[in-house]
């Protein structure tokens, strides 16, 4: 068992393989947090300090005991208005408009071998034969009739604890919920920092480290999507943390919409984390008898630095988030026509690109934007999901069948959540789009958003797309979304709980994806949102891979993929070899370097292979053979960040190592050359110290201990800036 409940003390301890998490009932019925960190035994409630602090009020039941204040005590879930002035977990108004929630323990249950599920929302799951235990702690405010059921699931092997909250109105009046976090974590006094992953379109998930001072750091999105600008995953660091040393806490939401992560340091140096749906565009009426579930939060702790924390998240995502036939099987090598043709293609041109790709061993051809409706640019056609047979010079099935005759599978690009004003759908159903009455539309990429909070809109788009898929037999879908969400106003002609529209939009999008997978269980879906605008655990519950950035420049991708790797396994990252000069930066890099960087994730191409030289064509064959040989190591091996490409400008390096320590691949890219450069060394990780490893590139063998403690010399990059190499190490004994 991973959950231990001491009924006499009302003390609960959750244990994973390497961590412990503990909570206890306070003197007056509140649920207090005692400890989260490395695995340990015993009652940790002695760590809670009871001190009289001026201007920190005391609950009525404490009478004259001024040392008991919710403003100071570490809590598992904090209500606003009951004496705690830190950032609350929950803000609720009663019918009189008063905001006060005082939650007391009502019930504690341990659900052995059961993983909770969340109605309408994706969440982590237990595999057959895997034991996952759940703790449910029911808190109630009997005055307003609100019950908050806190759920904790323990994934022992991956060192992960997941959390969600179910709010239930047990009273007789409507309550208004203005904030409902998924989790709160109160930590004792220490020096903390925050590592988060900021960015912008085309430059997503740039690592940034912040020393936490007094006050709040707020990380989030108000764009309706998890966003390019901030990722739902962040790390709280305790003191100095490196890849291999130091204590750190990782938190990630299983959600693809607006979110808010608050990290607050109080005047007495304790730290509170509050994570959940953003409250900025959220408000809901909870009628008597109704309930509301928050998205799942995933958390893990490491006392051995970032590397161990990332490994926990990587294993959890691969094992307990991703699902379907491509969860553990090899992803096909694909070619996408977008940067080769953009909108300017014909059926014959597509077949010509596919023919060459098939000859070289590519396994999947993806037809990107422009195959449907009146779609010759990004100003028209979205929402009209019928095939443009004039442009394709025949049916889509004819194109697909021809491509399959080359030994390849066939895939399509979709953008189901969008509509163009110049489209049959918009002319027939303008009310399907978000729009605020009396205001002119705000466009993004010349398009409007369909109101996916409405079931009839989701049904209409699904039926159109299903017809195409049924007729064509598509093997793969790239599902895109190319603008932020604003003008949130649903026009469905009935009373709405308008503060929930954005959340219901996310539920509608999940419903669409779930129905696709139910109807087409063998299809592979790759997520995309202008590249990396929806890289989150919610999407990964439906798609095994996400196009992590529209920026295909190999040098830019080094830092993008580095930041992504902290919270997401590289098996979930779509990466392509694209054309040079690169269409985003104009940079020219050797095809070997473009391939080395793309081989770090789900491998593919985004160019016309007919335009390559004979020498480059031969190399492409070799890249594809390498991927097919190494896919298991890339998708399932342990990933090590050997350098930080943002800090070290001479070279960037990363490593994949097999779980059984049998082999490793090290990727190295020269970022900046220097004259008369001193020797450089890289220390490998994840090897058998007593084993002996042969390196194909040097022709020499080394002990595992030598490679990890002394390292290996980085090859001199005499080929110049942006050159690269992949070094393979195979254990001989």
Task: State the sign of the Cα–Cα–Cα–Cα dihedral 583, 589, 594, 600.
Answer: negative
Going through 70-191 in order, the beta strands assigned E by DSSP cover 90-93, 104-111, 133-141, 146-155, 160-169, 175-187
DSSP string, 406-422: TT-EEEEEE-TTEE-SB
List the beta bridge partners of residue 700.
695
H or E stretch at 604:
strand 602-606
From 596, 2, 489, 485, select the one nearest 256 (Cα to Cα). 485
- DSSP H or E segment with residue 396: helix 396-405
Instruction: Tell me if 603 sits within 8 A of 731, measured CB to CB.
Output: no
Token digits of residue 40: 């340990």
Q: Is 401 helix (H, G, I), strand (E, B) or coil?
A: helix
φ and ψ at 718, to 5 degrees? -75, -15
Catalytic residue flag (residue 93) = no
Residue 502 backbone phi and psi in degrees, to 5 = -65, -40
Burial 370-385 (b: 16+ CB within 10 A, else e): bbbbebeebebbbbbb
Where are the extended beta strands (E) located within 426-548?
448-449, 476-479, 524-527, 545-547
Catalytic residue among 173, 616, 696, 716: 616
Among 536, 630, 663, 680, which one carries the catalytic annotation?
536
Q: How far apart are CA 165 and CA 123, in angstroms?
A: 13
Q: Tell me the two tokens of residue 148.
A: 């908050």
Burial of 426 (C-beta count, 10 Å sphere; 0-12/13-18/19+): buried
> 204 an active-site residue?
no
Residues identified as active-site: 536, 616
């Amino acid at each position: 068992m991973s959950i231990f409940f001491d009924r006499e003390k009302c003390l609960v301890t959750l244990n994973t393989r390497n961590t412990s998490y503990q909570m206890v009932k306070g003197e007056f019925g509140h649920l207090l947090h005692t400890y989260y960190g490395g695995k340990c035994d015993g009652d940790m409630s002695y760590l809670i300090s009871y001190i009289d602090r001026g201007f920190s009020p005391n609950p009525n039941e404490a009478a004259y005991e001024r040392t008991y204040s919710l403003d100071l005590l570490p809590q598992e879930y904090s209500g606003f208005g009951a004496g705690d002035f830190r950032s609350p977990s929950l803000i609720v108004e009663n019918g009189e408009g008063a905001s006060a929630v005082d939650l007391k323990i009502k019930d504690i249950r341990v659900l052995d071998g059961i993983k909770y599920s969340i109605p309408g929302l994706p969440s982590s799951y237990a595999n057959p034969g895997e034991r996952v235990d759940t703790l449910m702690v029911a808190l109630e405010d009997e005055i307003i009739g609100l019950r908050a059921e806190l759920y904790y699931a323990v994934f022992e092997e991956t060192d992960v604890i997941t959390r969600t909250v179910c709010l239930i109105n047990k009273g007789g009046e409507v309550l208004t919920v203005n904030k409902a976090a998924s989790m709160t974590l109160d930590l004792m006094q220490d020096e903390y920092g925050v590592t988060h992953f900021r960015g912008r379109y085309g430059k997503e998930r740039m690592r940034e480290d912040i020393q936490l001072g007094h006050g709040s750091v707020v990380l989030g999105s108000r764009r309706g999507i998890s966003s390019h600008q901030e990722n739902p995953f962040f790390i709280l660091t305790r003191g100095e943390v490196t890849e291999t040393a130091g204590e750190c806490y990782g938190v990630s939401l299983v959600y693809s919409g607006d979110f808010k992560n608050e990290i607050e340091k109080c005047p007495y140096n304790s730290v509170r984390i509050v994570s959940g749906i953003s409250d900025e565009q959220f408000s809901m009426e909870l009628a008597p008898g109704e309930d509301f579930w928050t998205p799942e939060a995933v958390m893990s702790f490491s006392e051995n630095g970032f590397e161990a924390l990332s490994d926990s998240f990587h294993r959890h995502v691969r094992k307990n988030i991703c699902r379907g036939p491509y969860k553990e099987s090899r992803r096909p090598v694909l070619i996408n026509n977008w940067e080769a043709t953009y909108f300017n293609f014909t059926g014959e041109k597509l077949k010509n690109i596919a023919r060459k790709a098939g000859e070289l061993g590519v396994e999947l051809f993806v037809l990107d934007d422009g195959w449907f409706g009146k779609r010759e640019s990004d100003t028209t056609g979205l929402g009209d999901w019928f095939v443009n047979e004039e442009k394709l010079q025949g049916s889509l099935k004819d194109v697909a069948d021809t491509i399959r005759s080359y030994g390849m599978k066939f895939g399509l690009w979709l953008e189901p959540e969008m509509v163009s004003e110049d489209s049959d759908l918009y002319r027939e159903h303008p009310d399907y789009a978000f729009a605020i009455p009396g205001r002119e539309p705000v466009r993004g990429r010349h398009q409007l958003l369909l109101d996916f909070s409405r079931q009839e809109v989701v049904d209409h788009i699904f039926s159109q797309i299903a017809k195409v898929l049924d007729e064509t037999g598509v093997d793969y879908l790239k599902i895109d979304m190319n603008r932020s969400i604003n003008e949130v106003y649903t026009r469905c002609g009935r009373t709405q709980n308008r503060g929930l529209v954005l959340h219901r939009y996310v539920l509608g999008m999940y419903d669409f994806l779930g129905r696709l997978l139910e109807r087409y269980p063998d299809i592979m879906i790759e997520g995309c949102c202008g590249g990396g605008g929806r890289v989150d655990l919610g999407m990964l519950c439906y798609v095994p891979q996400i196009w992590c950035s529209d920026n295909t420049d190999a040098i830019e991708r080094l830092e993008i993929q580095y930041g992504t790797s902290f919270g997401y396994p590289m098996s979930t990252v779509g990466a392509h070899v694209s054309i040079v000069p690169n269409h985003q930066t104009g940079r020219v890099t050797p095809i070997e370097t473009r391939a080395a960087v793309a081989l770090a994730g789900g491998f593919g191409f985004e160019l016309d292979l007919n335009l390559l030289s004979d020498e480059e064509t031969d190399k492409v064959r070799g890249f594809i053979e390498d991927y097919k040989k190494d896919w298991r190591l890339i998708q399932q091996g342990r990933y090590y960040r050997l350098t930080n490409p943002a800090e070290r400008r001479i070279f960037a390096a990363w490593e994949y190592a097999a779980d059984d320590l049998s082999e490793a691949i090290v990727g190295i890219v020269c970022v900046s050359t220097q004259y008369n450069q001193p020797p450089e060394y890289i220390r490998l990780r994840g090897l058998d110290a007593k084993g002996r490893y042969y390196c194909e590139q040097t022709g020499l063998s080394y002990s595992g201990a030598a490679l990890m403690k002394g390292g290996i010399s980085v090859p001199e990059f005499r080929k110049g800036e942006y050159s690269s190499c992949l070094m393979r190490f195979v254990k001989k004994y």
